[in-house]
Structure 1
Amino acid sequence: MKFSVLGPAGTFADAAAKAYLKAQPFSDISFDYHPTFDQVYQAVSGDDIGLLPLENQLDGYVSATLQRLQSADVTEIGEMTIPVDFGLVANVTELNQIKRIYVQFKTEGQCQQLLTSMPDVQIITTSSNMISLEKFQNGELGDAAIIPQSQMADLSVPLMMNNVADQDDNSTRFIIFKSQAADLEALSQQHLATDQFKAPLFVTPSSNDHPGTLYDILGYLADNQLNLVTIMSLPVKTQLGVYSFYLEISGTREQQAVLFKTLRKMTAKYHVHLLGYYAV
């Protein structure tokens, strides 16, 4: 059994995957590292599982993950939130000597105070924190990178700055998924390991959009005392101006029957793409 994550070893995704496994009964599982979101997603098949970042405390939701979930046949089986911290490394002795800085696309949004303090520096966006580190190590004089704090212990460079994120209490939430479509009826028979659940889904209105559509969708939840913890809109991409809504619903074990009864009602009027139902 493989566990596909953003790699190589030492990434925040790697740390989240290892933290998740500590509380799970999986045995004989090996890590399968990939450099991009797409490669992680494509690598998961059969009984394998995968992990992708979903939300950062400072920079919000990861659109690259949401866009895949929007049309993906996956079942989310859990989530893991871990603290994340970043450091700056450079092969110069002063900040004003930095000419170019490598930073992962989500990391950039979490370290704005530092980056805006260097307006003349060229920011080069990368697809992963480990690629930022690799490009820095293979770079030229004047290069710098923002990397995970955990990676700094093994480096020896002229300039190092610890904890450069905009807040000290930063964290990222990851989802764990399998490559099979979430089945509403099968999940409705699932027994939770804890008293609390989360159910992520996409709801897409019909092409005959009208005023009050979102109000109507949320009314299903409010009428049944189901707690909405997340709402995001994403374009459906088949037509300009048409959006689907990403929702996360939370509740207690006693609300399981109410949740699935409500989702069945919603499917009669909207396209409901359920992504999972799991204990939190």
Structure 2
Amino acid sequence: MKFSVLGPEGTFADAAAKAYLKTQPYTDVQFDYHPTFDQVYQSVSGDNIGLLPLENQLDGYVSATLQRLQVADVTEIGEITVPVNFGLVANAHQLSDIKRIYVQFKTEGQCQKLLQKLPTAQIVTTSSNMVSARKFQDGLAGDAAIIPQSQMANQSATLKLDNVADQDNNNTRFVIFKNQPANLEQLANLQLTTNQFKAPFFVTPAMNDKPGTLYEILGHFARVNLNLITLMSLPTKSQLGEYSFYIEISGTRDQQEVIFTTLREMTAMYNIHLLGFYAD
């Protein structure tokens, strides 16, 4: 089986993929590394699986992943959360000597306290933390990079600072998916391996400018005591002011019939884009 993740090897996505495999019975897995979200998604086919970051504790949801899930015909089969932390490497004797710093687009939001100490440094955004490390290795005097703490020992640098994230307690949640549409009826009959489930999906109202639309959507879950743990709005990109709502519901095994009955009822009023139903 091929497992597609953001690469190269050594990224947090790579660590998350390996942590996930420890919880699963898969054998003979080949890792397939890609530099962008779209390439990870496009590389997954058949019974192969992929992994993308969904949420960071400090910087919130990963918009690039949500935007892909909003339109993608995928089935999420699980998730994994891993701790993340960062270090700084620099070809400089002190912070004030740093002229340019490489930082991954999501890492930047997790290391604001450090970056505020570098007001004159040019911030160069990269696609992955390992790309930041590689660019630093190929760089000049005055260059710096924020990289995974686990990679600090592999770098030769004049200046090194450990644990530069805004707080030590920092985690990122990743979702694992197959490239096939989530089928409501098939998932409704899925036998859970644990007592807890999670169900992610998008809800798009037919009319976004109707007063009380969101109140009505949330009421479907409140009336049957389903626990809503995530609510995000994303533009549909069809026209200004039109939004979809990304929702995650959690519950117990005895609520499985309730969640699917509720989703069936909602399909008569809204566009429901189900993404999965899996043991949490």
Q: Same fold (TM over 0.5)?
A: yes
- What is the aligned partner in structure 2 of residue 162 from structure 1? 162
Map 1:27-42 → 2, pairs under 5 A: 27-42=27-42
Q: Report the AA paired with residue 56 of structure 2.
A: N
- What is the aligned partner in structure 2 of residue 23 from structure 1? 23
Gaps of at least 5 residues in structure 1 are none
| Length, aligned pairs only | 280
TM-score (normalizing by structure 2): 0.99
Map 1:74-93 → 2, pairs under 5 A: 74-93=74-93
Matched, 1:95 2:74: no
RMSD: 0.7
Offset at residue 253 of structure 1 (A): 0.2
Q: Report the AA paired with residue 161 of structure 1.
A: L
Matched, 1:264 2:264: yes
Change (3 A) 1:247 1:208: closer
**DSSP 3-state at the match of 1:164:** coil
Change (3 A) 1:164 1:51: same
Offset at residue 208 of structure 1 (A): 6.0
Find the aligned partners of 2:117 and 2:89 in 1 and give their Cα distance.
16
- What is the aligned partner in structure 2 of residue 57 from structure 1? 57
Runs of 4 or more, structure 1, over 2 Å off, are: none
- What is the aligned partner in structure 1 of residue 5 from structure 2? 5
Gaps of at least 5 residues in structure 2 are none
1:51-71 CA-to-partner distances (Å, cap 9, x unmatched) read 000000000000000000001
- What is the aligned partner in structure 2 of residue 135 from structure 1? 135
Assess if the C-alpha contact under 8 Å between 2:228 and 2:249 holds in 1.
Answer: yes
**DSSP 3-state at the match of 2:26:** coil
- What is the aligned-residue identity percentage? 73
Offset at residue 207 of structure 1 (A): 3.4
Find the aligned partners of 1:208 and 1:37 in 2 and give their Cα distance.
29
TM-score (normalizing by structure 1): 0.99
Offset at residue 155 of structure 1 (A): 1.5
Q: Which moved further from structure 2: 24-33 or 253-262?
A: 24-33
- What is the aligned partner in structure 2 of residue 180 from structure 1? 180
1:2-32 CA-to-partner distances (Å, cap 9, x unmatched) read 0000111111000000000001011111100
Find the aligned partners of 2:152 and 2:37 in 1 and give their Cα distance.
24
Offset at residue 209 of structure 1 (A): 3.3
**DSSP 3-state at the match of 2:193:** coil
Q: Report the AA paired with residue 249 of structure 1.
A: I
